[in-house]
Amino acid sequence: MSQLNIEDIARLAGVSRSTVSRVLNDHPSVRPAVRDRVWQVINEHGYAPQAAARHLVTQRTRIIGVLFPRSDNFLLANPIFASIGQGIGRACAQRGYIAMLSLSLRDMEQKVLLDMLRSRHFDGIVLVSSEQNDPMPLFLKQARIPYTRIGYDPEQEDPHYVAIDEVEAAYKAVKHLIALGHKRIGIIQGPAWEACTPARYNGYKKAMEEAGLPIDPELVEEGDWTHTSGNDAMRQLLYLKRPPTAVFATNDMMAAGALHALYERGLRVPEDMAIVGFDDVPQTIVVIPPLTTIRQPSIEMGMRATEMLIDLLEGKEGQPSHIILPTTLVVRQSCGAKPQHIQFPQKRQESASLDGH
């Protein structure tokens, strides 16, 4: 902490503090010679204006708060948040803002968290949440804190959000399985309190109904996004008298867990069971076999939500706006071509041929 303040710099440069302030803020009306001299003094002493004083007078911080759901283990549970965060950070950097993420929100008391938001640390919030009836949007509205949301909750209708068409995305995934000839298709869903869960289920249902396939409630499992829960869900499906020949997991981590369960049972993918995931996180290609999945443009989602927020803050755009970004089916190796009847239980043989060399 260089103890110098703007006054000191002014004195050292032989100008007034207004001039130093102008230099600092790139105000045009400063003589080049003066400007250079001031910068030199500033750099010489490693001076930087104190954020608090600046924030107090401008009433803006140029800091954007990022709220992730259950922040302290989101990193562990689902790498898609990392990509979203990356997009948020990148957009902030481009526009001269700083994205700040508070660690371990779960360990903070509710009141502490709310007070933090109310105390104007942040100019605005990017809320990453597809939780149904998440209380946060309501709070932010009441506290008149500008925010944009990544994720869509039909119950809340946030004025500014970016999302994907969940129904259509899930529909594409299941349709892919159907096109490959599968008729008995299971689904491993996310938790019920996520708004995207019923939406993705509806996509599944739509594809099934359209193909004239029945939906067997036995084939509907629920996980909590984690690898472990995907593993458990797949085990349940394998216990069935008539297991599915294909499974749609509504995120990649659960899909990976499902793969794991199949491996443990000596079943081959895609020969014995086809799997489609959702998200297209990096891990998806690292798993064996690489996952066919629905790609969410997560980095772009982060960027768009952030740009939308900054536009809002800078008054460029006051109207409500909803951005729906496109998803794509990424075909890799976990679905193969033709389904076979499952032989169960069965040990794996020659599985090394799955991925040649």
Partner DNA sequence: TTGTAAGCGTTATCAC
Partner DNA sequence: GTGATAACGCTTACAA
| Positions in the binding site for DNA (CB under 7 A) | 5-7, 14-22, 24-25, 28-31, 34-35, 47, 49-50, 53-54, 56-59
Are the C-beta atoms of residues 203 and 166 closer than 8 Å to each other?
yes
Number of C-alpha atoms within 13 angstroms, CB side, residue 93? 7
Residue 18 contacts which entry, DNA, a copy of itself, none (Cβ below 5-8 A, type-dependent) = DNA
Nearer to a copy of itself, 103 or 192 (CB): 103
Smallest distance, Å, CB 57 to DNA?
3
Question: Per-residue DSSP letters for 247-273?
Answer: EEESSHHHHHHHHHHHHHTT--TTTT-
189, 190, 235 from 254: Cα distances, Å: 9, 9, 12
Q: Which residues on neighbouring strands pair with residue 322, listed in sequence order?
A: 161
First to last CA, the chain: 57
State the minimum distance, in angstroms, from the CB of residue 204 to DNA. 50
User: Would you tell me how many other CB atoms lie within 10 Å of the CB of residue 203?
Assistant: 26
Q: Could you say which of DNA, a copy of itself, none residue 118 binds, taking C-beta under 5 to 8 angstroms by partner kind?
A: a copy of itself
> From the CB of 159, what's the least distance to a copy of itself, in Å?
16
Q: How far is the CB of 62 from DNA (least distance, A)?
A: 11
C-beta of 19: minimal distance to DNA in Å? 4
Q: Which one of a copy of itself, DNA, none is in contact with 40 (Cβ closer than 5 to 8 A by kind)?
A: none
Question: Which of DNA, a copy of itself, none is residue 103 near (CB under 5 to 8 Å by kind)?
Answer: a copy of itself
Q: Using CA of residue 141, residue 126, residue 113, residue 146, what is the dihedral sign? A: negative
- Closer by beta carbon to DNA, 16 or else 133: 16
Nearer to DNA by Cβ, of 22 and 205: the residue is: 22
Indicate which of a copy of itself, DNA, none lies near residue 337 (CB less than 5 to 8 Å, by partner kind): none
Q: Which does 24 bind (CB under 5 to 8 A by kind): DNA, a copy of itself, none?
A: DNA
Nearest residue (CB) to a copy of itself, 209 versus 314: 314
Instruction: Tell me the torsion sign for CA atoms 230, 235, 237, 243.
Output: positive
What whole-number distance in Å separates Cα of residue 337 and Cα of residue 123? 51
CB of 110 to DNA, least distance (A): 20
Q: In this complex, which beta carbon is closest to a copy of itself, that of residue 115 or of residue 209?
A: 115
> What is the distance between the alpha carbons of residues 171 and 176, in angstroms, rounded to a whole number?
8
| In the complex, minimum distance from the CB of residue 3 to DNA, in angstroms, rounded to a whole number | 7
Return the number of the residue (22 or 149) whose C-beta is nearest DNA.
22
Q: Which two tokens stand for residue 39?
A: 């910068």
Select from a copy of itself, DNA, none the partner in contact with residue 355, using the beta carbon and a kind-dependent cut-off of 5 to 8 Å: a copy of itself
- State both tokens at 99: 């994205």
Q: Which is nearer to DNA, 50 or 346 (CB)?
A: 50
Binds 138: which of a copy of itself, DNA, none (CB < 5-8 Å by kind): none
Q: Least Å distance between CB 115 and DNA?
A: 11
Q: Which residues contact 33 (CB under 8 A, 6 or more apart)?
A: none
Q: Which is nearer to DNA, 38 or 294 (CB)?
A: 38
Where b means 16+ CB within 10 Å and e means fewer, 107-122 reads ebeeeebeeebeeeeb
CA 328/CA 248 separation, integer angstroms: 15
Spatial CA neighbour of 327 closest among 176, 225, 224: 176
